[in-house]
């Protein structure tokens, strides 16, 4: 079984080609350059090096967020278009879960996170149960301070993983003291091969209906919904009409 | 030509997710449009983030519909043409990346298309182009006079220096408390009113084919404001008629002047505002006075954003050898060359 994995949900861009239990190849960058011009060339190059054609793929795995709205949409758009056009299944994996996978040999809880600006982070809490990665607190957006004090109450070791560690290390250390552990640089980047292996176990989804997990509503939509609630009206009064205008 | 050219067009520059298949650059086999207008109505205008989210939801479904309705397989496609810009960057990115993925999956040549080139080529789905020609492009984001000496070669001889005509329509519509989108409402009201209010016309320097609508827009807002201060009432129908008369006067006069100066054989109307009845009527009237110049106005469904026009323009560019690779990017400020 050949799996192509794509993660463009955050600054780190990752592409992997996995065949059965073997990682055939990976491309990972951690630079602040736009994904749109680089993802498809990376996919093309990796598959060429590995001698695999698009028609030989069996599954597309994609990091579906949370992360940068634009970033996650680029990966999801490519993934669902490939899956639909090649007539193969698509699976989505939480971008945080992929990152948490780097904590495989850590015995405590794992908190993968991405900076979400203004003191907020996207995070969740995970743990390895043998070889299985389990989610113990679902993905959310939360103030780093709030998250740190919530974790402190658990009185257990926590491994923080992410490229934005420098921004929040002080906060986590202040709240958790010796319970806080930080992944070294080489383990801070989500690995696209982990995305492929996690994806293998997820439920297959319909490519057409596949959408990112933004965690948050678009700002305009949230405001609009709040206003509707204030006026006691119904929330989702719109539809998208599709026509053949030929 | 001994074999047919099938091109898939993809367009996501604003609030329509669209895909179409066009044969030989002229014949529409399918033209699918998923309109988000109802969604954006809630906010009184297009919200970029919401538009991008809807595009991701719709994109593969819309492309599949276009392929199915056309009854064409991927292996039959000569090329995929996608709107590269200008437009909303987040929205453009969806079409561009879907097009690249599809191009990669089936090794189909990829062509990036300028949105305005698409609007102009919508005309080729109605009548064969005769060069040299002049196209008046009027939409929510654009007001341009484009001269074409041959296929695929565009020369912008005039453009707006501030607001696009469509933008002015939206702002005036808002001032008259008309629902979004305001253009069609103003056009409708204008038919019922009389152009009795004196509003400015921005001719700019002698010989310039550029446009300016912000002065006109301000004049409308001031007139409404002053009347309100004095407790007078202005009939919205007359204001709509006066505003529309000013816009159309400038658009049509400059188009006719340019058509004469450049000795064109054809004048093409393009863009969403081409649906405007007042503009169509006046342009037809004035063009009738010119000898040997043909006027082409596409049907409404081809004036507003669609992908058949992108496929039509893409077909010509493909035949001319233009190709994009996997690094193709969305370019919100793309220039028409
Ligand atoms: Zn347009």
Using the beta-carbon criterion (under 8 Å), do A77 and B50 form an inter-chain contact?
no
Q: Which of B82, B97, B332 to mutate to test the interface with A (most CBs of A within 10 A)?
A: B97
Q: Is B315 within 8 Å of chain A by CB?
A: no
Shared domain check, A143 and A125: yes
Does the structure show a pLDDT above 90 at A228? Answer: no
Candidates B101, B180, B308, B324: best to mutate against A (most CBs of A within 10 A) is B101
- Compute φ and ψ for A227, nearest 5 degrees: -65, -40
Contact call for B104 and A221, based on CB within 8 A: no
Would A23 be classed as within a structural domain? yes
B35 touching A (Cβ < 8 Å): yes
Q: What percent of chain A has pLDDT over 90?
A: 91
Q: Say if residues B54 and B22 touch (Cβ distance below 8 Å).
A: no
Sequential DSSP letters for B67-109: HHHHT--GGGEEEEEEEEESS-HHHHHHHHHHHHHHHHHHT--
Tell me how many domains chain A contains: 2
Chain B within 8 Å of A77 (Cβ-Cβ)?
Answer: yes
Residues A68 and A119 in one domain: no
Whether the model clears a pTM of 0.90, i.e. scores above it, the answer is yes
pLDDT on residue B294: 96
Residues B91, B113: contact at Cβ < 8 Å? no
Q: Which pLDDT value is given to residue B182?
A: 86
In a domain? residue A150? yes
Residue A242 included in any domain: no
List, for residues A110-137, the tens digit of each pLDDT value: 999 999 999 999 999 999 999 999 999 9
A110 and A136 share one domain: yes
What residues are paired with B23 via a beta bridge? B6, B27
Q: How many Å lie between the alpha carbon of B31 and the closest alpha carbon of chain A?
A: 5
Q: For each successive 10 residues of chain B (337 residues), what is the average pLDDT? A: 88 96 98 93 90 97 98 97 97 98 98 97 97 95 95 96 90 91 91 94 93 94 94 94 96 97 97 90 95 93 95 98 98 91
- Does A222 contact B at CB distance below 8 Å? no
What distance in angstroms lies between residue A143's CA and the mean position of ligand 1's atoms?
Answer: 41
Q: Are residues A215 and A201 in the same domain?
A: yes
User: In whole angstroms, how far apart are CA B12 and each of A36, B91, B270, B302, B332?
Assistant: 15, 6, 18, 15, 12
pLDDT of residue A235: 56
Q: Is the peptide bond before B314 cis (omega within 30 degrees of 0)?
A: no
Give Cβ neighbours of residue B75 (< 8 Å, ≥ 6 apart).
Answer: B106
Q: What angle is formed at CA B54 by the lines to CA B50 and CA B57, rounded to 5 degrees?
A: 145
Q: Is B208 annotated as a binding residue?
A: no
B274 CA to middle of ligand 1, Å?
11
Domain identity same for A9 and A90: yes
User: In which order are the strands placed within the sheet that holds A2-7?
Assistant: A22-29, A13-19, A2-7, A59-63, A90-93
Exposure of A96 by Cβ count < 10 A (0-12 exposed, 13-18 middle, 19+ buried)? buried
Interface of B with A in 105-124 (CB under 8 A): 105-106
Count how many pairs of residues, chain A against chain B, have C-beta atoms within 8 Å: 145
Q: Are residues A108 and A133 in the same domain?
A: yes
Nearest to A54 by CA among B104, B239, B287: B104
Which residues in chain A have their CB less than 8 angstroms from residue B306's CB? 245
Q: What is the CATH number of the domain that holds A117?
A: 3.30.420.40
Q: Does residue A155 lie within any of the structural domains?
A: yes
ipTM: 0.95
Q: DSSP class of residue A101?
A: G
Mean pLDDT of chain A: 95
Same domain, residue pair A106 and A88: no
Would A18 be classed as within a structural domain?
yes
pLDDT at A89 over 80: yes
In a domain, A235, yes or no: no
Evaluate the CA torsion angle A233, A235, A238, A239 in order and state its sign: negative
pLDDT value at residue B139: 87
For residue A88, the CA-to-ligand 1 centroid distance in Å is: 34
Residue A129 lies in a domain: yes
CA of A15 to the centre of ligand 1 (A): 35
What's the angle, vertex CA A139, arms to CA A136 and CA A142, rounded to 5? 115
Is residue B335 less than 8 Å (CB to CB) from chain A? no
| pLDDT classification of A239: cutoffs 50, 70, 90 | confident
Tens digits of residue pLDDT in A94-106: 999 999 999 999 9
Provide the b/e sequence for B256-272 (b: ≥16 CB within 10 Å). Answer: bebbeebebebbbbbbb
Residues of chain A contacting residue B54, judged by C-beta atoms under 8 Å apart:
240
> Among B30, B94, B105, whose Cβ lies nearest the Cβ of A73?
B94
User: Which domains are present in chain B?
Assistant: 6-121+303-319 (3.30.420.40), 130-297 (3.30.420.40)
Q: Ligand 1 mean position to A73 CA, how many Å?
A: 23
Alpha-carbon distance B13 to B81, whole Å? 13
Which pLDDT value is given to residue A238?
Answer: 78
Contact at 8 Å (CB) between B270 and B156? Answer: no
Residues A6, A115 within the same domain: no
- Do A14 and A79 lie in one domain? The reply is yes
Residues A22 and A72 in one domain: yes
Burial B73-96 (b: 16+ CB within 10 A, else e): eeeebbbbbbbbbbbbbbbbbbbb
Pairing outcome for strands A120-129 and A109-115: antiparallel
CB-based contact, B93 to chain A, within 8 Å:
yes
Residue A78: which domain range?
A: 2-94+190-220
In a domain? residue A130: yes
Are both A51 and A160 inside the same structural domain? no
B72 touches chain A (CB under 8 A): no
Q: Same structural domain for residues A178 and A205?
A: no
Burial A105-139 (b: 16+ CB within 10 A, else e): ebeebbbbbbbbeeebbbbbbbbbeeeebeeebeb
Q: Would the CB atoms of A37 and B38 count as touching at under 8 Å?
A: no
């Amino acid at each position: 079984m050949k799996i192509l994995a794509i993660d463009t949900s955050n600054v780190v861009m990752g592409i992997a080609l996995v065949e059965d239990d073997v990682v055939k190849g990976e491309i990972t960058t951690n630079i602040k350059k736009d994904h749109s011009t680089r993802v498809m060339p990376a996919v093309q190059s990796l598959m060429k090096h590995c001698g695999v054609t698009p028609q030989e793929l069996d599954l597309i795995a994609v990091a579906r967020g949370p992360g940068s709205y634009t970033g996650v949409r680029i990966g999801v758009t490519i993934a669902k278009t490939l899956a639909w056009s090649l007539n193969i299944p698509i699976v989505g994996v939480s971008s945080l879960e992929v990152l948490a996978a780097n904590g495989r040999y850590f015995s405590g809880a794992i908190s993968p996170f991405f900076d979400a600006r203004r003191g907020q982070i996207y995070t969740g809490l995970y743990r390895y149960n043998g070889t299985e990665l389990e989610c113990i607190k679902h993905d959310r957006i939360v103030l780093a301070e709030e998250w740190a004090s919530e974790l402190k109450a658990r009185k257990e070791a926590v491994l923080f993983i992410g490229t934005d560690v420098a921004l929040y290390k002080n906060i986590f250390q202040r709240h958790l003291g010796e319970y806080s552990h930080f992944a070294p640089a080489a383990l801070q980047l989500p690995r696209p091969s982990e995305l492929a292996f996690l994806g293998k176990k997820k439920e297959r989804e319909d490519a057409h209906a596949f959408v990112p997990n933004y965690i948050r509503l678009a700002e305009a939509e949230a405001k609009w919904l709040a206003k509707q609630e204030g006026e006691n009206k119904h929330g989702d009064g719109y539809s998208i009409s599709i026509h053949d205008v030929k | 030509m001994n074999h047919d050219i099938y091109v898939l067009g993809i367009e996501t520059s604003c609030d329509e997710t669209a895909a179409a298949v066009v044969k030989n650059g002229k014949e529409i086999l399918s033209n699918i449009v998923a309109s988000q207008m109802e969604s954006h109505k809630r906010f009184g205008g297009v919200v970029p983030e919401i538009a991008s989210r809807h595009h991701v939801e719709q994109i593969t479904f819309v492309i599949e519909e276009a392929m199915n309705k056309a009854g064409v397989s991927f292996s039959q496609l000569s090329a995929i043409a996608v709107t590269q810009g200008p437009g909303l960057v987040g929205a453009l990115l969806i079409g561009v990346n879907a097009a690249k993925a599809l191009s990669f999956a089936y090794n189909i040549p990829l062509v990036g298309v300028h949105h305005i080139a698409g609007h102009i080529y919508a005309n080729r789905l109605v009548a064969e182009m005769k060069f040299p020609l002049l196209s008046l492009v009027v939409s929510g984001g654009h007001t341009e006079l484009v001269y074409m000496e041959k296929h695929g070669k565009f020369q912008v001889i005039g453009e707006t220096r501030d607001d696009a005509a469509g933008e002015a329509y939206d702002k005036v519509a808002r001032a008259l408390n008309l629902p979004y989108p305001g253009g069609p409402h103003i056009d409708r009201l204008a038919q019922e009113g009389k152009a009795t209010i004196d509003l400015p016309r921005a001719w700019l320097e002698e010989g310039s084919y550029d446009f300016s609508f912000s002065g006109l827009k301000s004049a409308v807002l001031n007139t409404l404001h002053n009347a309100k201060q004095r407790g007078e009432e202005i009939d919205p129908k007359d204001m709509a008629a006066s505003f529309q008369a000013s816009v159309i006067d400038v658009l049509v006069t400059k188009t006719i002047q340019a058509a004469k100066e450049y000795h064109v054989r054809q004048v093409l109307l393009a863009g969403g505002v081409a649906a405007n009845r007042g503009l169509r009527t006046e342009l037809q009237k004035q063009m009738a006075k010119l000898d040997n110049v043909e006027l082409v106005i596409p049907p409404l469904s081809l004036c507003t954003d669609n992908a058949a026009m992108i496929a039509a323009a893409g077909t010509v560019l493909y035949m001319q050898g233009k190709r994009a690779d996997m690094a193709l990017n969305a370019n919100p400020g793309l220039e028409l060359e």
